[in-house]
Amino acid sequence: MQKLQNIKGMRDHLPPAMLLRQYIINTLIGVFERYGFEPLSTPVLEYAEVLEGKLGDDEKLIYRFEDHGGRKLALRYDQTVPLARVVAQYSGQITLPWRRYAVGASYRGERPARGRYREFWQADVDIVGSHSPLADAEIVAVLSDGLEALGFPTFTTLLNHRQVLGGIARVSGLDEEAAGGIYRAIDKLDKIGAEGVREELRHSGVDQGCADRILEMVLLEGSSEDTLQALRQHLHDDARAVAALDNLEDILRGLEDMGIAPARYCLSPRLARGLSYYTGAVFETISSHWPQGSLLGGGRYDDLIGMFAGQRVATVGLAFGVERLHDVMEELGLGPRNRTTAQVFVTVFGAEQRVASLQLARELRAAGVPVMTALEPESPLGKQLKEADRKGVRYALVLGPDELSRSEVLVKDLASGEQRGVAREAVAEALR
């Protein structure tokens, strides 16, 4: 190679970036497990036929290839289709309803952009085997608690239902076949605006009157209660849409009962998730700090597992995009700004103090303090302190002849320059 470089759309993550990413993942896992979700891991490779026919228009983004044995394989597109395979494959070993989470890399052959990569990590949560609107509400509650735990100052989760969108198409005079075009056009609303959607609808064969009625409904705004009532007036003759609105009302009530702040969510008839496997409620979270689109999203997909299991299995879930969260948090200065894992650097004053210094480091590690030690004890103390500072370690410990004679450790704050002697037996507690 003339020039060493990454594959476009795939990134190396050096220690500062990895520390923030690990913080994101560990924080989200903590939230997931507080709700009783259990971990699952699946291979990054699947047989191509497992993924094919499940993703609609997005299927063109699957990375496919043949291995040395001629088997047709594919890189994992997301964590959802592998979950569907697992539930069908291990049906006798899984107790439903099952709350599952999974964290790992997925791959899509799309055009890279800010917050959108060809290799990306997701943290997924799903509830399998429950039709209850409380399951949908719990997933949205996990979403809200997760973003709050990460320190996001503002965000709103938009909720809608696939059958509300279907009802909008039907009462506007379109058939079921045309509804798919409605989803695709509305999904572009934030990018191309209302006039762009109107033009796209006309190009797909929708007359101006129908397009105007569709936009009148999808552009409804206001409180969730007001939007719900307005949609009921428009869709009262469509039984499936009315049932969908009842479902959304139950989900909204569940969120209220779970104590999620009303400012964190709202009903939005303009929301149309792109993936074809959604069957019920859908949701996306937006933030003024991420104008490029949604932060994350999900929804109910009751048919996907049935493609493998041979029977319908109710499922609802969402995916936190670690890449996108990382980029936004880095921009906003959220989360820790550590440059290294160590919080303490133990110097070695000289050959005579080497054993005492290494024993101190061992004791601190046993007490749960992350410690880095000098590897060249013959180097001057000043050079060791500079190494600690360049690494981004906050505290340096010095155990010289004077400190040893007093049974003390000199604790130096490299950020402020302050230093003080601490009793040898109390240093671990003082650092904590």
Count: domains in the chain: 2
Task: For residues 265 and 388, state if they share a domain.
Answer: no
| Structure confidence at residue 178 (pLDDT) | 67
In a domain, 9, yes or no: no
Mean residue pLDDT across the chain: 92
pLDDT of the residue at 194: 82
The pTM assigned to this predicted structure is 0.90
Is the Cβ–Cβ distance between 139 and 127 less than 8 Å?
yes
- Please report the pLDDT score of residue 1 as a whole number: 64
Residues 179 and 102 in one domain: yes
Q: Residue 241 belongs to a domain with what CATH number?
A: 3.30.930.10
- Residue 361, Cβ neighbours under 10 Å: how many? 21
Please give the sequence-ordered ranges of beta strands (E in DSSP) within 301-370, or none if there are none. 315-321, 344-346
What is the reported pLDDT for 26? Answer: 98
Least confident range of 46-60, 70-84, 243-257, 334-348: 46-60
Is residue 104 pLDDT above 80, yes or no?
yes
Confirm whether 409 is domain-assigned.
Answer: yes
Number of H-type helices and E-type strands within the chain: 16, 16
Asked if pLDDT for residue 231 goes beyond 80, the answer is: yes
pLDDT at 305 over 60: yes
Q: At 385, is the pLDDT very low, low, confident or very high (cuts 50, 70, 90)? A: very high
Strand order from edge to edge, sheet including 408-413: 371-373, 344-346, 395-398, 408-413, 419-423
CA–CA dist 288, 426 (Å, integer) = 47
pLDDT value for 378? 87
Determine the Cα–Cα distance for residues 43 and 416; give it in Å rounded to an integer: 47
The pLDDT value given to residue 195: 84
pLDDT tens, position by position, 16-69? 999 999 999 999 999 999 999 999 999 999 999 999 988 877 899 999 999 999
In a shared domain, residues 167 and 271: yes
Side-chain-side CA neighbours of 316 within 13 Å: the count stands at 23
119 and 207 together in one domain? yes
Q: Are residues 34 and 182 in the same domain?
A: yes
Which residue would you say has higher pLDDT here, 182 or 407? 407
The predicted pLDDT at position 208 comes to: 83
In three-state secondary structure terms, 297 is strand
282 and 404 part of one domain: no
Within 151-207, residue ranges assigned H as helices are 162-171, 176-186, 189-203
Q: Are residues 235 and 116 both part of a single domain?
A: yes
Give the span between the Cα atoms of 78 and 56, in whole angstroms: 14
Q: CATH code at 366?
A: 3.40.50.800
Q: Round to whole Å and give the CA distance between 321 and 325.
A: 6
pLDDT at position 201: 81
Q: Is the pLDDT of residue 179 over 80?
A: no
Q: Which domain holds residue 321?
A: 15-332
Reply yes or no on whether the pLDDT at 188 is more than 70: yes
Please, which pLDDT band fits residue 380 given cuts at 50, 70 and 90?
Answer: very high
Pair 43, 101 in one domain: yes
- On whether both 29 and 90 belong to a single domain, the answer is yes
- Say whether both 287 and 422 belong to one domain: no
The answer to whether position 5 is within a domain reads no
* Segment of 131-145, 200-214, 287-301 carrying the highest mean pLDDT: 131-145
Q: What pLDDT is attached to residue 199?
A: 82
Asked whether the predicted pLDDT for residue 97 surpasses 70, the reply is yes
Whether residue 361 is found in the same domain as residue 426: yes
Q: Are residues 302 and 326 in the same domain?
A: yes
Map residue 153 onto helix, strand or coil.
Answer: coil
pLDDT at 182: 72
